[in-house]
Amino acid sequence: MNKQLYLYLPIFVIGLGLYQVFLRNEPFTQLPAVGLIAAFIFSTVTVMNIIVRNPRLEARYGIIVPALFGLTILYVWEVAVRGFGVPKVLLPAPSAIGLALVVQAPVLWADFQQTVLKSVIAGYLLGNGAAFIIALLVDRSPFLQRGLLPLGNLVSAIPIVGIAPIMVMWFGFDWPSKAAVIVVMTFFPMLISTLAGLQGTDRMQRDLMRSYGAHYGQTLLALRLPVAAPMIFNALKLNATLALIGAIVAEFFGTPIVGMGFRISTEVARMNVDVVWATIAVASVVGSVAYGTITLIERRVTFWHPSFRKAPR
């Protein structure tokens, strides 16, 4: 019982701090305000500490800890921007970014359609699909494998986004050029991972398949693709972020007047930094959702993998 009391006080202080941010617009240079800010930070740290130290609490409320950390960052950001009167061009407050998200929603939605729904999805599917199929073909020829693998490793050191201006020249200003950049960027990570994954079976497993009289296709479906799945999913996750980056950077090189990269570069030039931050927020959410979706699919497909099995209680 006593322990819960420890929790109530900091939570009260956190509430007080939030109240101060959202309902009072005064810049707070006075001592009480500084005290409240210090108390806020101290309280969040205390709550995090209490939860982390207590296994029972952590099992139940573990997710609160990173959330509190994020809240603290946002709070300090908001308070610092208001308190020190940081100009909007330099760094807008989180609330200003939130406002921009709401006010500019139609514009941001159009950008999202152009960049994500057209360029990213088309490029991502094409790039990963082509790499997967070519990996399956190359896998049958050890000669080609030995030729392609070192090359693929070299390619990973190359800043591939640099091909964006060339693709814009070849495929025009609209989304196909962005999709082309994404295809090239996502191709090699997928190719390398799939090839490495397909080689992940050991001799015993292959011999077993052979003793079952399994032919190539059956071995592929029943043994080698499942073994390769974790590596393939790793590449898919990495590529989700790469695809977004590729589309946004390619839009810096020329685009119709819509798209996330276009929005970022023009609004930066017009000093509407809050819209830029709003676009970045959208991009972050898209990236995280894509990552999360792929992770969910991965759990469904590779439920047998040790990293997803539940620990015995």
* Residues between 211 and 230 that touch other proteins (CB under 8 A): 230
> At CB < 8 A and 24+ separation, what contacts does 10-18 make?
10/42, 10/43, 10/44, 10/46, 10/47, 11/43, 11/47, 13/39, 13/40, 13/42, 13/43, 14/40, 14/43, 14/44, 14/47, 14/71, 16/40, 17/43, 17/75, 18/75
How near is the Cβ of 32 to other proteins at its closest, in Å? 27
Burial label, 284 (beta-carbon count in 10 A; 0-12, 13-18, 19+) = exposed
Q: Where are the alpha helices (DSSP H) in the chain?
A: 2-23, 31-53, 55-61, 64-83, 94-103, 105-112, 121-139, 142-155, 164-171, 175-198, 203-211, 216-219, 225-252, 260-269, 273-301
Q: Which of residues 284-313 bind other proteins (CB under 8 A)?
A: 284, 287-288, 290-292, 307
Q: Which of residues 148-187 bind other proteins (CB under 8 A)?
A: 148, 150-151, 154, 156-159, 161-166, 168-170
| The binder of other proteins chosen from 98, 99, 145, 301 (CB under 8 A) | 145
Interaction between residue 96 and other proteins (CB under 8 A):
no
Q: Which of residues 261-280 bind other proteins (CB under 8 A)?
A: 261, 264-265, 268, 271, 273, 276-277, 279-280
Interaction between residue 55 and other proteins (CB under 8 A):
no
Residue 7 or 214: the one with the smaller Cβ distance to other proteins is: 7
Taking CB under 8 A as the binding criterion, the range among 25-33, 96-104, 211-219, 250-258 that sits at the site for other proteins is 250-258
How near is the Cβ of 31 to other proteins at its closest, in Å? 28
Interaction between residue 134 and other proteins (CB under 8 A):
no
Residue 24 or 140: the one with the smaller Cβ distance to other proteins is: 140
Residue 30 or 256: the one with the smaller Cβ distance to other proteins is: 256
Taking CB under 8 A as the binding criterion, the range among 13-21, 189-197, 203-211, 258-266 that sits at the site for other proteins is 258-266
Interaction between residue 118 and other proteins (CB under 8 A):
no
Cβ(134)–Cβ(191) below 8 Å: yes
Residue 215 or 270: the one with the smaller Cβ distance to other proteins is: 270
Q: Closest by alpha carbon to 241, among 190, 295, 186?
A: 186
For residue 170, give Cα distances in angstroms to 62, 90, 120, 176, 183. 51, 37, 18, 10, 14
| The binder of other proteins chosen from 37, 179, 195, 248 (CB under 8 A) | 248
Interaction between residue 95 and other proteins (CB under 8 A):
no
- 254 by DSSP, 3-state: which? coil
How near is the Cβ of 141 to other proteins at its closest, in Å? 9
Interaction between residue 75 and other proteins (CB under 8 A):
no
Q: Quick one: DSSP state of residue 159?
A: -
| The binder of other proteins chosen from 15, 70, 172, 256 (CB under 8 A) | 70
Report the C-alpha gap between 167 and 280 in whole angstroms. 24
Interaction between residue 100 and other proteins (CB under 8 A):
no
- Report residue 124 as tokens: 């991502």
Report the C-alpha gap between 263 and 245 in whole angstroms. 14
Residue 13 or 51: the one with the smaller Cβ distance to other proteins is: 51
Cβ(152)–Cβ(191) below 8 Å: yes
Interaction between residue 196 and other proteins (CB under 8 A):
no
Interaction between residue 10 and other proteins (CB under 8 A):
no
